[in-house]
């Protein structure tokens, strides 16, 4: 494929030129390129971006009371239509006491014949013993170079086990994340609200205040400091106090800590819980007030935040979410987002003048690819990188509406938002897989990403 005359954007550069892709790999980036027999895509006046990388999805996630309604087929189609050409999914917990490879095998069964874009898996730690610590080394060869544990929910780890995992992560040169919420404070508030009959969705948010999240984030930072700066990826940061704690830790010398926030914490606010359809927004951490969104935006603008993920975890509003109609605690936690990440960040970030095009690419492609061992195969436009490209028309506009989307869920949290810029084509390993919002690729074409160790100097 030859992409002609586009405005090529990487994390470092913006220039007009051509991209030549042969056998799925970029062979040349330059001026006046010509090829023989290549499919030519005219990108004049359009932006040519690296395929975006979303390192926070939950396809097929089974949370006991419901299963996320996007599987690796529908979820990756939605991702592709939104300009994301690689994902790294968080594996669900396995059976009690299972070895780490149990879920890796399970997830290959779920994904290998279905995914339409390239994909990897984060390991999940649900208990800690010598076998688990040994498995963390064995699985490096299988491409599992990042792990997540939970500080709340079933299978939450106790402090000593968190320390053991984090020490092992540092020893092996991997990267760890944790779902950071203080379990005890959630239990206290849930109990209080149940006793006082406060069961509407707004009490979901009130049961998980920003201090509850910040406390857990700060403890992770302090644990990392005690262990000598463990590669730590703070997932779905939703609040300004947590961001302050991270910045303070950086000032104290922590260098290997990276922050992800998600579009929901930038574009949606806690007032939505008071609406009749408030259950749509039951997710953890919950939506916050605008002050926190503003602080996160500032963190993005100043470079304190390194990546944008989605935490895509969709449940149908008409059915799954209604389990919480009488009691917020019975509502499955999570919301869709994989399809609109890049369009939202382009429109509200770049077109509104908050961030540069290069910073958009860093946040949505280059940094996640580096931190999760996929760079430079993924996350940039350079000879030798995979031919994963998004062509975005900066002059087009559109309104987000569920009926035009590919996520297999019955609503979009962003319904009705008017966006500047529109994706006109998406290329994965040199194959045109999306044109004008229509998916053209084949089921199962996605390849497993055997990821390397993280690059933490970003």
Under the binding rule (CB under 6 A), the answer on residue 168 touching ligand URP is no
- The DSSP line for 267-300 is H--GGGGGSTTGGGG--SSPP--HHHHHHHHHHH
Report the residue number, 179 or 359, with the smaller CB distance to Zn ion. Answer: 179
Report the residue number, 93 or 375, with the smaller CB distance to ligand URP. Answer: 93
Burial of 33 (0-12, 13-18, 19+ CB in 10 A): middle
3-state helix, strand, coil in the chain (%, to 5): 35, 25, 40
Under the binding rule (CB under 6 A), the answer on residue 69 touching ligand URP is no
Distance CA 263, CA 281 (A): 13
Nearest distance, CB of residue 380 and ligand URP, angstroms: 27
Residue 283 binding result from Zn ion, ligand URP, none, given CB thresholds of 5 to 8 Å by partner type: ligand URP
Nearest distance, CB of residue 236 and Zn ion, angstroms: 6
Binding mask 104-133 for ligand URP (x = CB under 6 A): ------------------------------
Query: Which of these ranges, 161-169, 308-316, 388-396, 403-411, lies near Zn ion under the rule CB under 5 A?
Result: 308-316
Under the binding rule (CB under 5 A), the answer on residue 311 touching Zn ion is yes
Listed in sequence order, the residues at least 6 apart from 145 whose beta carbon sits closer than 8 Å to its beta carbon are 174, 175, 372, 373, 451, 452, 453, 454
Report the residue number, 179 or 378, with the smaller CB distance to Zn ion. Answer: 179
Q: Which of 10, 13, 17 is nearest to 51 (CA)?
A: 10
Out of 333, 380, 385, 408, the only residue in the binding site for ligand URP (CB under 6 A) is 333
CA dihedral 187, 193, 195, 199 (to 10 degrees): -120
Query: Which uninterrupted H or E stretch holds 185?
Result: helix 183-195
Nearest distance, CB of residue 377 and ligand URP, angstroms: 26
Residues of span 161-190 touching Zn ion by CB under 5 A: 179
Q: What are phi and psi of 253, to 5 degrees?
A: 120, -5
Nearest distance, CB of residue 333 and ligand URP, angstroms: 3
Report the residue number, 91 or 313, with the smaller CB distance to ligand URP. Answer: 313
Q: Which of 146, 153, 140, 145 is nearest to 61 (CA)?
A: 153
Tokens 């999760």, located at residue: 372
Mode of pairing for the β-strands spanning 418-428 and 389-399: antiparallel
# residues contacting ligand URP (CB under 6 A): 8
Binding mask 27-66 for ligand URP (x = CB under 6 A): -------------------------------x--------
- The DSSP line for 357-406 is HHHHHIIIIIHHHHHTT-TTTSSS-STTSB--EEEEEEEEEEE--GGG--
Under the binding rule (CB under 6 A), the answer on residue 179 touching ligand URP is yes
Under the binding rule (CB under 6 A), the answer on residue 206 touching ligand URP is no
Nearest distance, CB of residue 302 and Zn ion, angstroms: 25
Residues of span 289-308 touching ligand URP by CB under 6 A: none
Under the binding rule (CB under 5 A), the answer on residue 213 touching Zn ion is no
Distance CA 453, CA 458 (A): 14
Under the binding rule (CB under 6 A), the answer on residue 284 touching ligand URP is yes
Quickly count: other Cβ atoms within 10 Å of residue 195's Cβ. 8
Distance CA 371, CA 231 (A): 9
Out of 283, 300, 365, 381, the only residue in the binding site for ligand URP (CB under 6 A) is 283
Under the binding rule (CB under 6 A), the answer on residue 392 touching ligand URP is no
Distance CA 111, CA 45 (A): 36
Burial of 95 (0-12, 13-18, 19+ CB in 10 A): exposed
Under the binding rule (CB under 6 A), the answer on residue 70 touching ligand URP is no
Query: Which of these ranges, 68-76, 250-258, 309-317, 352-360, lies near Zn ion under the rule CB under 5 A?
Result: 309-317
# residues contacting Zn ion (CB under 5 A): 2
Report the residue number, 89 or 388, with the smaller CB distance to Zn ion. Answer: 89
Q: Are 277 and 331 in contact (CB under 8 A)?
A: no
Residue nearest to ligand URP (CB): 333
- How close are the terminal C-alpha atoms of the chain, in Å? 30
Report the residue number, 284 or 385, with the smaller CB distance to ligand URP. Answer: 284
Binding site for ligand URP (CB under 6 A): 58, 179, 283-284, 311, 313, 333-334
Binding site for Zn ion (CB under 5 A): 179, 311
């Amino acid at each position: 494929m030859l992409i002609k005359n586009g405005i090529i954007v990487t994390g470092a550069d913006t220039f007009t030129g051509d991209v030549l892709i042969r056998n799925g790999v970029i062979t040349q980036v330059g001026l006046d390129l010509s090829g023989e027999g290549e499919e030519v895509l005219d990108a004049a006046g359009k932006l040519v971006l690296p395929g975006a990388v979303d390192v926070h999805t939950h396809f097929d996630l089974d949370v006991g009371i419901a299963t996320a309604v996007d599987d690796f087929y529908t979820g990756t189609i939605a991702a592709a239509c939104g300009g994301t050409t690689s994902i790294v999914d968080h594996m669900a917990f396995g059976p009690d006491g299972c070895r780490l490879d149990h879920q890796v095998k399970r997830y290959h069964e779920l994904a290998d014949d279905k995914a339409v874009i390239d994909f990897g898996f984060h390991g999940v730690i649900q208990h800690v013993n010598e076998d688990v610590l040994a498995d963390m080394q064995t699985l490096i060869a299988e491409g599992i170079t990042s792990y997540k544990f939970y500080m709340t929910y079933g299978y939450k780890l106790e402090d000593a086990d968190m320390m053991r995992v984090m020490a092992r992560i540092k020893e092996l040169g991997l990267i760890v994340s944790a779902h950071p919420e203080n379990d005890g404070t959630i239990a206290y508030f849930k109990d209080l609200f149940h006793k006082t009959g406060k069961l509407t969705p707004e009490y979901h948010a009130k049961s998980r205040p920003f201090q509850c999240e910040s406390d857990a984030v700060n403890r992770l930072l302090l644990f990392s400091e005690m262990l000598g700066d463990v590669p730590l990826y703070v997932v779905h940061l939703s609040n300004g106090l947590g961001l302050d704690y991270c910045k303070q830790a950086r000032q104290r010398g922590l260098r290997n800590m990276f922050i992800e926030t998600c579009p929901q914490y930038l574009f949606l606010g806690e007032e939505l819980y008071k609406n009749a359809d408030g259950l749509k927004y039951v997710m953890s951490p919950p939506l916050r007030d605008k002050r926190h969104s503003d602080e996160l935006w500032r963190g993005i603008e100043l470079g304190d935040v390194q990546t944008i993920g989605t935490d895509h975890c969709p449940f149908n509003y008409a059915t799954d979410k209604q389990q919480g109609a009488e009691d917020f605690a019975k509502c499955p936690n999570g919301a869709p987002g994989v399809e609109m990440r890049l369009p939202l960040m382009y429109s509200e970030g770049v077109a509104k003048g908050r961030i540069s095009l290069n910073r958009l690419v860093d946040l949505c492609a280059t940094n996640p690819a580096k931190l999760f061992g996929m760079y430079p195969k993924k996350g940039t436009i350079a000879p030798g990188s995979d031919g994963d490209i998004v062509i975005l028309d900066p002059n087009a506009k559109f309104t987000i509406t569920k009926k035009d989307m590919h996520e297999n869920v019955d609503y979009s949290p962003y319904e009705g938002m008017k966006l500047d810029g529109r994706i006109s084509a998406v290329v994965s390993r040199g194959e045109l897989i999306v044109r004008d919002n229509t998916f053209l690729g084949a089921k199962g074409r996605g390849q497993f990403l055997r990821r390397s160790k993280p690059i933490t100097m970003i």
